[in-house]
Amino acid sequence: MRLFDHHIHSSRSDGSVTLEDRAKSVAVRPHGISDHYPWPTGMQTDGDVLRYLDDAARLGLRVGIEYDLGVAPALPRSTHDALDYVIGSVHQLAMDGTRLGYDAAGAFLKGRTPPPYSEAARFADPELQRRVLEAHLALVRVGILETGIDIVGHPTMSPLAALGDPEVGYPVEWQERLIALCVEHDVAIEINEAYRVPHRAFLERAHARGARFSVGSDSHFVLLPLDRTEAMIRDAGLAAGPFLDGRRPQAGVSTATSS
């Protein structure tokens, strides 16, 4: 199985490797490029996205973006269609007028901060958990219906995953709603090497519902191996796919209704 790695960053957002050097590692194994949009020192306007697309495509890379759901400006249809794929990811929620960031949870899930998870007490509140679930799913829904994302990036990366058992953090009913949304619109569910999400039971449920999957190392520095991804695929019985292979399916996905 030759997996195409869709989710890789460069120095055009928060990665340390230039686009030129990313283009060279395609020889190691197939991958695209998908920098953050927006990013404070990177892409902030549609014109920036188009320049990024030109620069990366000229180097021979398949070109996506990691569209920051709930934050990024609307993506014109023509820009969406010019990109090989769009990953839509939730990195934060807006709640009561303040930003509820996923940064600490993400760092914990990546193994960058040791246990215990520093926000565990705060997110133990069932009411807050319920609000996070609904707000997270709402952002993904808008990304699918309005932006026309092709891939849901790290679909279950949030403080709820960092709390411990994801089968507890994510009620099965919620998982099924997220999966149904992806299946209905043929949006790929990303298997994310860096955050090690989604968990096995989620992947098995998605597979049983006929979901498509996408592989993402989420490399920011050296090209990360896909060891954990391959184990996740094996353990969940997904080896036969279907997997996205570097561009959106020809017939599917064009579900965007707004520009």
User: Which residue shows structure tokens 């055009």?
Assistant: 12
For residue 240, the minimal CB distance to Zn ion (Å) is 26
Q: Which long-range contacts (CB under 8 A, 24 or more apart) does 162-167 make?
A: 162/104, 162/105, 162/108, 162/109, 162/117, 162/119, 162/120, 162/123, 163/117, 163/120, 163/123, 163/124, 166/197, 166/198, 166/199, 166/201, 166/202, 167/199, 167/201
Rg (CA), the chain: 17
- Residue of minimal Cβ distance to Zn ion: 89
Which residue, 89 or 214, has its beta carbon nearer to Zn ion? 89
190 binds Zn ion (CB under 5 A): no
Compute the least distance from the CB of residue 153 to Zn ion, in Å.
Answer: 5
Of 200, 204, 227, 205, the C-alpha closest to 215 is 227
3-class SS at 19?
A: helix
- The residue from 89, 129, 147, 229 that contacts Zn ion (CB under 5 A) is 89
Note whether 218 binds Zn ion by CB under 5 A: yes
Q: Which stretch binds Zn ion (CB under 5 A): 11-19, 43-51, 87-95, 228-236?
A: 87-95
Q: Stretches 66-74, 75-83, 114-122, 195-203: which one binds Zn ion (CB under 5 A)? A: 66-74
Cβ-proximal residues to 181 (8 Å cutoff; 6+ apart), any chain: 137, 140, 141, 144, 187
Question: Of 58-66, 69-77, 118-126, 203-211, which part binds Zn ion (CB under 5 A)?
Answer: 58-66
Stretch that binds Zn ion, among 17-25, 85-93, 139-147, 233-241 (CB under 5 A): 85-93
Q: Which is nearer to Zn ion, 103 or 184 (CB)?
A: 103
State which residue, 4 or 173, has the beta carbon closest to Zn ion.
4
Q: By CB under 5 A, is residue 192 in contact with Zn ion?
A: no
Would you tell me which residues interact with Zn ion (CB under 5 A)? Answer: 66, 89, 218
